[in-house]
Amino acid sequence: MRILCCHSELCQDRFIGINPEENDNGWVYYYRAGGKGGYMQEKKDIEELLKSGTSVGFYPQGNSMYPTIVPGRDNVIVEPLSERKIKRGDVLLFRRPENAPVYPGKLILHRVCKVKEDGIYMVGDNEKIVEGPLPRNVFLGVMTELHRKGKTIKVSSLFYKMLTRSWLFLRPVRFIITKPLRLFRKSV
């Protein structure tokens, strides 16, 4: 499986590098061929890549997944969802419906809060409001890796699962934790 990724230091031999550029319709990617030789730039839409079976890597923007994913620093790998079973705690990439009250039509990377008969409920790690129910057909991919400060964190690891499941459990009160973190981060 070919993976397109924007963190070339981590991925020199395994991936093709992408530099993300956000536009009005969602995320569009420019990529360059890795290895020796010249550079080739081409526009690629993350939604098209995932639908074609290509996994992608990118730097998520915004603070909705903080502190689990730090914008501008952390790089994620998202694989096509295909027929994979969606579970509580998964981080999924989806396109918000055009009639959504906030960021309509944008690509969003959030965590599954609950899976029910009527749809899937999503929440950002730095948010209190649960979004849903969303139909399965809006979901494009699932996060499988997080790259932070030169280290790869697999979402299948026991440490990651324990940490994120605990954070999801604390959803009703986690603003008490994140507010001081945000204030500290702004002062540094």
Residue 20 has pLDDT above 60, yes or no: no
Q: Does 165 or 24 have the greater pLDDT score?
A: 165
Residue 141 has pLDDT above 50, yes or no: yes
Q: What pLDDT, in 10s, does the model give residues 45-97? A: 788 888 888 888 888 888 899 889 988 889 999 999 988 899 999 999 998 88
pTM for the model stands at 0.76
- The whole-number average pLDDT for the span 118-144 is 93
pLDDT of residue 187: 66
d(CA 147, CA 164): 16
Q: What is the CATH number of the domain that holds 7?
A: 2.10.109.10
Helices (H), 43-170: 46-51, 158-169
28 close to 43: Cβ distance less than 8 angstroms: yes
Mean residue pLDDT of the chain comes to 77
- Three-state secondary-structure class, residue 43: strand
Overall number of domains in the chain = 1
In whole angstroms, what separates CA 126 from the centre of its chain? 14
* Partners of 110 in beta bridges: 92
DSSP code of 59? -
The boundaries of the domain holding residue 52 are 3-187
d(CA 73, CA 58): 10
pLDDT of residue 179: 74
Q: What pLDDT, in 10s, does the model give residues 158-186? A: 999 998 888 888 888 877 777 777 677 66
Q: Which long-range contacts (CB under 8 A, 24 or more apart) does 160-163 make?
A: 161/89, 163/68
Q: What pLDDT, in 10s, does the model give residues 3-13? A: 444 433 333 33
- Taking Cα atoms as reference points, which of 1, 39, 38, 7 lies closest to residue 20? 7
d(CA 148, CA 60): 12
pLDDT of residue 6: 43
